[in-house]
Structure 1
Amino acid sequence: MSFWAALSLFLLTVALMEGFAYVMHRWVMHGPGWFLHESHHRPRTGNWELNDLYAAIFAVPSFVMILGGVQLGWWPGFTWVGAGIAAYGAIYFGFHDVIVHRRLPSRYLPKSAYMKRIVQAHRLHHVVETREGNVSFGFLIAPKPEDLKAELKRRGRAGVRKSVGADD
C-alpha cells in the first residue's frame, strides 16, 4: 500500500470516528448502554468509573485490525484503519479526560474559540443527569453553546442538575 493511500485511509478513519462516536454516544451509551455510561453523569468517587469500560470495548477493533494487518496477513489497509481508530481514541482521551474532566493534572486552559466551544458543549451535555434530554453528543464537532442552552430551555430543563447551593 502506498504511503499516500495509507495516510488517506488513516485520516479518513480519524474523521469518520467522530460520526461513529456520536452514534454510539447518542443511541448506545444513552440507550441500552446507559448502565455503564450513567457513572459518567454522576460525581466520580475514585479514579475509575464504569464508563471507562467503553475505552476498552472500543480499543478491541483497533487492536484486532492492527494485529491482522501487521501480523496475520490481512489487507494492509486494516493496519491504517486500526491506527486511525486508536488515534481518535488518543485525541478523545486528551480532550475529554485531560482537558474537560481533568482526570490527569493539567494547566491547560482553552484559549481558542474552537477549544472553548467543545469544552462548553461537553459541559452542557453533563448538566443533564438523566439518560434523556441531553444535548451535544459529538465531541470534536460541537454545536454552538447558545444553541445548546436554547435547546435545554426548550425541553423545560428536564433532568438538569441543580446548581451547587441552589435552593429547592
Structure 2
Amino acid sequence: MLLHILVFILTFCIMEFMAWFSHKYVMHGFLWSLHADHHKKDHDSWFERNDAFFIFYAVVSIGFFLLWQHDILEIGLAIGLGIFAYGLAYFTVHDIFIHQRFKLFRNANNRYAKAVRRAHKMHHKHVGKEDGECFGMLVVPFKYFKK
C-alpha cells in the first residue's frame, strides 16, 4: 500500500515535468498547429484544437488502469491515478482558474494564485511559438511570487 501511495505521488510530480517538456518541445514545437489557437484564438468555438492534448494524457492514464486491471502491472492503478490527478489539477488551475472557461475561483487571491497568474500571463505574452517562457503549470518560478 505504501509503495502505491509513493508511486502515485511520484507520478503526480513527474507529470509537472512532463507537462513542462511537452508544452515547450511538443506544443511549441512540431505540434504548434494544435496549440496555436490557445495563444491566439482564431475561431468562435468554446473548444480549442489545443484541447486535443488532454486526450493524449487521458489515453495514457487509461492505459495504466487497463494494465492494472488485467494484472499486467501491479502499480498501474497508482500511475494511472497519478496522471489523472495531475490532469485534474492542471485543468482546474489552467482552464478554470486562469482562463476562466468556467466562472469559478475568481476571487482566489493568495500569493500562489497571484504567482500562477503572473507566470501564465508572461507565457501568453508571446503569441508565436518562439521565445516562450514559463512552460510548467503548478511549479512557478520564484520570481513570480515577488510583489
Aligned to 2:114: 116
Q: Give the letter aligned to residue 85 of structure 1.
A: I
Q: Which residue, 19, 25, 28 being the options, matches 1:27? A: 25
Give the counterpart letter for 1:15 in structure 2.
C
Q: Deviations over 1:42-97 (max 9, x none)?
A: 13622101000000011111001011102x11121011101100110000000000
* Cα displacement (A) at 1:145: 3.2
Count of residues in Structure 1 that have an aligned counterpart in Structure 2: 144
CA displacement, residues 1-47 of structure 1 (integer Å, 9 cap, x when unaligned)? xx211111101100111011111000110000101000110136221
In the alignment, what sits opposite 2:102?
104
Kindly indicate whether the alpha-carbon contact (under 8 Å) linking 2:36 and 2:50 is maintained by their aligned counterparts in 1. yes
Instruction: Tell me the TM-score normalised to structure 1 length.
Output: 0.81
Paired-residue identity, % = 33
Q: What SS does the aligned partner of 1:31 have?
A: helix
Secondary structure (helix, strand or coil) at the match of 1:30 reads: helix
* Shift, 1:107, TM fit: 4.4
Q: 1:37-116 residue pairs with structure 2 within 5 A?
A: 37-43=35-41, 45-70=44-69, 72-116=70-114
Higher relative contact order (CA 8 A, sep 6+): 2
Structure 2: stretches of 5+ with no match in the other structure: none
TM-score of the superposed pair, with normalisation by structure 2: 0.92
Indicate the structure with greater helix content.
2
Deviation of 1:146 after TM superposition, in Å, equals 8.3
Residue segments in structure 1 that go unaligned for 5+ positions in a row: 148-168
C-alpha deviation, 1:134, in angstroms: 1.1
The alignment yields a C-alpha RMSD, in angstroms, of 1.5
Per mean C-alpha deviation after superposition, the further-off stretch among 87-96 and 45-54 is: 45-54
CA contact (8 A) 2:111 2:145 kept: no
Letter in 1 for 2:97: I
Paired amino acid for 2:45: G
1:131 aligns with 2:133: no
Instruction: Find the structure with the greater CA-based Rg.
Output: 1
How many Å separate the matches in 2 of 1:107 and 1:91?
A: 13
SS at match of 2:18: helix
Shifted more, 57-66 versus 90-99: the winner is: 57-66
Q: Deviations over 1:104-135 (max 9, x none)?
A: 12143232211210111011101110000111
